Every structure is written in C-alpha cells, then in structure tokens.
Structure 1
C-alpha cells in the first residue's frame, strides 16, 4: 500500500492512477497538527490493519491532479547514516565509515515534499545531492536485534540528504531548510520483502549520477536499525536515511533532481540558488 499526503494535508491511498481520500478512516477526526495525518495513523495503528480498508464511495483525485506533499512533514527524528557505501567512502577519500562514525541527526524542519525546491545557501560552497532509501519506523524500537528489526518498520520512502561541503558538523551542513526532500509517498513494509535488495538511481539535470543496489550497504537496513536503536529509542514516524552511494555532486540553480527506488517510488524536486549568499556573509562569522 502507498500512502501520501496531498491537497493541504489530506491522507490518500494510491489506487491505480487515483488517490483515494482515506483521511477519516485512517487518521480519524480532528486536526493532526504539524506532524500530519500519516504520522497520526502510524502512531495509532499497526500496518497489519492496512489491508482492511473499504474504498467504496471514497472521494478520488487523479494522481496527475493531486498536489503531493511530504508524507511526513515533521518527523520526530531524522537519522542519517554517514559513509554507508564503500564506493562513496572511496570517492570522498574517507578513512572511516559508519562502523566508526555512528549515526547523526538532521533537523526535522529541513523536510520538503515532491516538486518543491532545494534552496542553495551559498554561492561559493558546493552543495551536493545524496540519494537514499528512507526507512519509516512503525513500532517503538529500543535495543532490538537485527533479526527482529524489520518487525519495527512501517514502510519505506525516497530521501534526498542534501549536504553543504563546508567545515561545520554534519548536522549543521545537512539541516538547512529544504535539505531533506521526502516522498512522494510511503510504501508499507509488506510491499518490500527485502529492503537490502533494491535498485536506486539518482539523476541531476537529466544525467544519472548515482546508481546502486541497497545490497551494497555496509550496514544493511536490519543492522542499521539494530545499531541505531542501541543508541536512541526509535519512535513511530522516525525516519532513517540509510546512506548514499558514490556519485554525489554539486547542484546548481535550475537543476531537477530525480531519485527512483525500486518498489518505493520516484521523487523529483527542483533547485533554487537565487537567494544564495557568499559563505563569508553567513550570520555569526567571526574574524580570525
């Protein structure tokens, strides 16, 4: 099942070429708040209930006419997995990998959805795309084993982990507003039998930059959940960005970034550099 937010926070189930409005059926009455109706559903019920929906008579909107939004506009946590592909380790000439670095956090205010724009902050610092499989937690997880890890997954989505190549800590360089495009929907876990066997491709400006299979992850999805849950408790709706393969590169004003993941979906966003400023003009700079 594919679940999306659309048209100002409505919760939709993709059925063929349509979005079926299931807001009241899944999220219930009342305002779900800034976290959104899909977050409300994830918190309220297990994914096993998903197959019992009656779509008869529910309002439908053609996908081509729907205004898709980030499926989780304000997740509780966004967790990143640095250097989790060997080919990316080689291209960046890193001497360490996730096994040495652990995980990091991104600000949840950095989330945007399909067809929105990544805003480049600086005119003279490279900002790169990083295409990644996103794992959405469905059940609270603390110190879970790799064998049990997938039992705690609600579903999967596409994530772009945008990164400024400057000297600050990872969480700063990756947390600018608009630096975490997510979407276009969440595919429930029952539709992805093995998350460690998915083809991934990321194009920028019509040129393929990244192409891999998640089988090449250093920490696969199961191991990554087990490791992360040994550090911090994972809650329903938390998102883990599983890491990026080789092929990261600079983004420019007017670029279109397209991330496609087998069984998951296709996420496309734009790039806007019209408000970028020189790095030396950033607030808080101190003379050395």
Structure 2
C-alpha cells in the first residue's frame, strides 16, 4: 500500500483507480495534524484492514488534484547513516575527494548521527540553499520508516519492525561544521511522495535506485552495496536507543554525490518505491 499525507495534512492512500482515498478518520480527531502519520503507524495492525478496504474500493480524489506533502512530516527521531557505501568513502577522501587525503571513517565506526526533524520537506516544497558562497550536495538514499517500538532488536528480526520505505534526499553543506549541523537546515531532508508499506517491498536489501540533476544521471546503485544494510542499521541503532513508530532512518548515499545549484531539479527514482522530484532554489 502507498500511504501519504495530502492537502491540509490529511492521511491518504493511493488506490488502483489512480485516486487518493482519505484515511484521516481512522485516527483520533484530536490528533495534531503533524502527528497523524505517527498515529496511523502506531495502530497500523488494527487499522490496516480498514485502509485496505478503502484502497480496494477507490473512488477518492484523482491523484493530480491533490497536493502531496511529506508523507512523514514529524517523526520523533530522524537517524542517518554516515558513509555507508565503500565507493562513496573513496570519493570523499581520495586524491580528488571533497576532503582530500583525509581518512574517511564509514558507518562501521561512526555508526550514525541525528538530523533535525524540521529539515523534512515534501514534494510540494523545494530544496532551499541558504548561502551563495558554500557548496551544497545531493545525496540519494532510502528512507526507512519504523513501524513499532524497537529496542535491542537483532538484525535477523529487524525488518519485522519496519512500517515502510520512501525516497529520501540528504542534502549536505560541505565544510568543517559538525555533520548534524551541515545536514539539518530547513528543507534538507526531502522525502516522499508516498511511503510504500513493507509488505509491498519484497527485498529492501536489493533495491535499485538512481538520481538525476536536470536529467543528467549522477548516482546509481543498489542497497545490496550498503556497508551496514537496513537490518543492521536497525540493530545498531536500537541497541543504543529505543526506536519509536514513525521514526525515520536514512540509509546513507552511494558514490556520485555532487553540487546542486538554484534553478536545478533533482529527481530520485526507486522503481519499487517511487520517484521524488525536488526543485532547488535560493532561500529568500
């Protein structure tokens, strides 16, 4: 199932007839708008059948007549894996790398970092670059949405704790500032347009994906090349902190990262999950 947030923060799902059916009333009317997806995910076991019935019936609003927002606007936590592909490690620290001749440590050492949840933006927005004199890069990733409370989960069981997956961009300021600071600007975590539930993604550890800028391919890889795969990331993070329903994990990016500039358009395609298109603008 493809679930989303649309228009005035309503919950929805894409039906086979190309319409978005409304699921908002499945959660309490007292739930704050930004927390509706968290509420849906938390009670998904009980609500899934009702949602599936509406998707099967269709008859919602045509997809092209709704405004799709970030499908998970306010997770409690937004985790990210640093340098989680070996070829990305090489391009960052190699002779001509962004951080030339430095020792670039992978997720095996660095493990992870936190991004501000306020950096999330949906396909209805844009990537806003705040400064003209600094370099900002695109990073293509898969967003993993946690489905139930996870504490000290083994890698063997980890995928049972996933609600779904979504395209995710980790926009990055290059420089000497702390990694969390450089990646937490407003609009620096685009995601969406849909979360595809885990039961519709047979093998998340073998997903092809690619990224283009103005039609030029910059990145292409597969999640099978991750140093720490999705299950391993959940194991590592849940050993330290309790993961909550709705939390987001960004898996890390492969080689091919590059600078983005105002006026360009970034497109991340994950055939089994969806396509995220984001314009790049200068912050007003």
Q: Deviations over 1:35-62 (max 9, x none)?
A: 3322210122328834763227775111
Relative to structure 1, is the Cα distance of residues 242 and 50 closer, same or farther in structure 2, using a 3 angstrom cutoff?
Answer: farther
Which has the larger displacement, 90-99 or 168-177?
90-99
Q: Return the match for 1:188 from 183, 187, 197.
A: 197
Alignment of 1:266-277 (within 5 A): 266-275=275-284
Q: Which one has a larger percent helix, Structure 1 or Structure 2? A: 2
Q: Map of 1:213-228 to 2, 5 A cutoff? A: 213-228=222-237
Where 2:155 maps in the other structure, the secondary structure is coil
Q: Report the alpha carbon displacement of residue 187 of structure 1 after superposing the two structures with TM.
A: 0.4
The correspondence for 1:101, drawn from 104, 110, 118, is 110
SS of the equivalent of 1:148 reads helix
User: Cα gap change, 1:111/1:3 in structure 2, threshold over 3 Å: closer, same or farther?
Assistant: same
Seen in structure 2, the aligned counterparts of structure 1 residues 47 and 98 have a Cα distance that, compared at 3 Å, is farther
Q: What is the alpha-carbon distance in structure 2 between the residues aligned to residue 12 and residue 75 of structure 1? A: 17
CA distance in 1, matches of 2:142, 2:36: 22
Q: Which residue of 2 aligns with 1:178?
A: 187
Given the alignment, which residue of 158, 170, 176 partners 1:167? Answer: 176
Q: Confirm whether residue 198 of structure 1 aligns to residue 199 of structure 2.
A: no
Q: Where does 1:55-74 land on structure 2 (aligned, <5 Å)?
A: 55=54, 60-74=60-74
The TM-score normalised by the length of structure 1 is 0.90
Distance in 1 of aligned mates of 2:149 and 2:92: 34
The equivalent of 2:42 in structure 1 is 43
- The one-character-per-residue Cα deviations of 1:232-254 (angstroms, maximum 9, x if unpaired) are 11000000000000111111111
**2:157 counterpart (145, 148, 152):** 148
Residues 274 and 186 from structure 1, CA distance in 2 versus in 1: closer, same or farther, beyond 3 angstroms? closer
**Structure 2 partner of 1:241:** 250
1:131 matches 2:131: no
SS of equivalent residue, structure 1 residue 223: helix
Partners of 1:21 and 1:59 within 8 A in 2: no
Answer whether contact 1:34 1:73 (CA < 8 A) is retained. Answer: no
3-state DSSP class of the match of 1:201?
A: strand
Unaligned segments of structure 2, at least 5 residues: 94-102
- For 1:47 and 1:244, the matched residues in 2 are separated by 35
Tell me, in whole angstroms, the C-alpha distance in 2 between the residues paired with 1:110 and 1:34: 18
Do 1:202 and 1:258's aligned partners in 2 also have CA atoms closer than 8 Å?
Answer: yes
CA distance in 2, matches of 1:52, 1:78: 26
Paired residues of 2:2 and 2:194 also in contact (CA < 8 A): yes
- Conserved? CA contact 1:47–1:154, under 8 Å: no
Offset at 1:196? Answer: 0.7
**Rounded Cα–Cα distance in structure 1 between residues aligned with 2:223 and 2:119:** 24
User: In structure 1, how many angstroms separate the alpha carbons of the residues matched to 2:283 and 2:165?
Assistant: 32
Instruction: Tell me the equivalent position of 1:11.
Output: 11
**Shift in Å at residue 171 of structure 1?**
0.5
CA contact (8 A) 1:34 1:74 kept: no
Task: Give CA-to-partner distance per residue, 1:174-205, whole Å, 9 cap, x none.
Answer: 00001010100100000111111000111111
- The DSSP-based 3-state class of the residue aligned with 1:147 is helix
Q: TM-score, normalised by structure 2?
A: 0.92
